[in-house]
Amino acid sequence: MQKIFVGDVQGCGDEFEELCERADRTFGSDHQIWCVGDLINRGPKNLLPLRLMRERVEDGRGVFILGNHEIGLLRVWLGIWELEPRNTYPEVLDSDECQEWIDWLCGQPLARCGEIGNSPFAMVHAAVHPDWTLDEIEPLARRIEERLATRDKSELMALLGEDDSTADEALLEDRDNLGRLTRCRTVDSRLIWSSASPRHSMRPWHEPWSERDHDYGIVYGHWSRQGLHVAKGLRGLDSGCVHHGRGRMGFLSGWLPRDDDTGAFESDQFAVPDERFWRIDPQRAYYL
């Protein structure tokens, strides 16, 4: 079954629908959409990609992981964060289905691992710790997901809140790993993460990860300013569709690792160069 990995949608519902329709035309039912998270926020259509993705997840033709904007929606819903003017969460929060969407999102994973042919991989929204092995990623994510899946507001407040005075070391560790999985862009010399762009002693998280010469690849998103990132072992798919019109060309990216005509997978799906991408151009300038 053809996997199609899709970068950050961020409320660009028309473009995501176009990609899904292209997948249906090209592969029929013999494909899966793997979304790196951030289906929602900033763009004008949030419910459309949520519905399209949920349909595919529920019929076995989709895999979705949470991004920082889904976590942000939960924080606004809980009252931890105030709604910012540029956020488009109200389309979800004010809908009759709000509680249903909150419950669904709380049941979604933060990381998924698997194989493409003989190439093992992890899909996360933002980053992994440079020292994590593939076998460590899902157990770390599952522990956080169990906290989210309780759907208990006090438990969610404890996980997603910003009060660091707690003595619960396991909770603090889960908070830190949640941030790394959904918000990290750079790390310092001690591998402490930050959401900031590289500067001074901070460098992209994937540089020290690559130096470890891991035996798995990573598919991720979250970093529109970096753009489409194609490097050995790495496929960064946030090409900034929602930022189109902000002095640069944004678009929605899909990565299609594929077998050849003989049915044999390439030995390393994460090798470079790689031209197995779909580009869905934006239908409008989202920022004028």
Question: Per this entry, what is the length of the chain?
Answer: 288
What is the CB neighbour count within 10 angstroms for residue 234? Answer: 17
At 133-147, the pLDDT tens digits run: 999 999 999 999 999
At 92-138, the pLDDT tens digits run: 999 999 999 999 999 999 999 999 988 999 999 999 999 999 999 99
Write the single-letter amino acid at 20. Answer: C
At 35-44, the pLDDT tens digits run: 999 999 999 9
Handedness of CA 55, 59, 62, 66 (dihedral sign): positive
Beta bridge partners of 61: none
Residue 239 is assigned to a structural domain of this protein: yes
Over range 6-27, report the average pLDDT: 97
Residue 186 is assigned to a structural domain of this protein: yes
Handedness of CA 11, 16, 18, 21 (dihedral sign): negative
- By the 10 Å C-beta count (0-12 exposed, 13-18 middle, 19+ buried), 27 is classed as middle
Residue 286 is assigned to a structural domain of this protein: no
Which residues 6+ apart lie within 8 Å of 71 measured at CB? 160, 178, 182
Residue 110 is assigned to a structural domain of this protein: yes
DSSP 256: -
Residue 105 is assigned to a structural domain of this protein: yes
Is the model's pLDDT at 162 over the cut of 90?
A: no
Residue 287 is assigned to a structural domain of this protein: no
CA distance 117 to 264: 8
Is the model's pLDDT at 200 over the cut of 90?
A: no
How much of the chain exceeds pLDDT 70, in percent? Answer: 96
Residue 132 is assigned to a structural domain of this protein: yes
Whole-number pLDDT of residue 263 = 46
Is the model's pLDDT at 248 over the cut of 90?
A: no
Residue 173 is assigned to a structural domain of this protein: yes
Number of folded domains that form the chain = 1
CA distance 188 to 208: 10
How much of the chain exceeds pLDDT 90, in percent? Answer: 83
The answer to whether the CB of 172 falls within 8 A of the CB of 180 is no
What domain range includes position 266? 2-280
CATH number at residue 212: 3.60.21.10
How would residue 158 be classed by pLDDT, with cut points 50, 70 and 90? very high
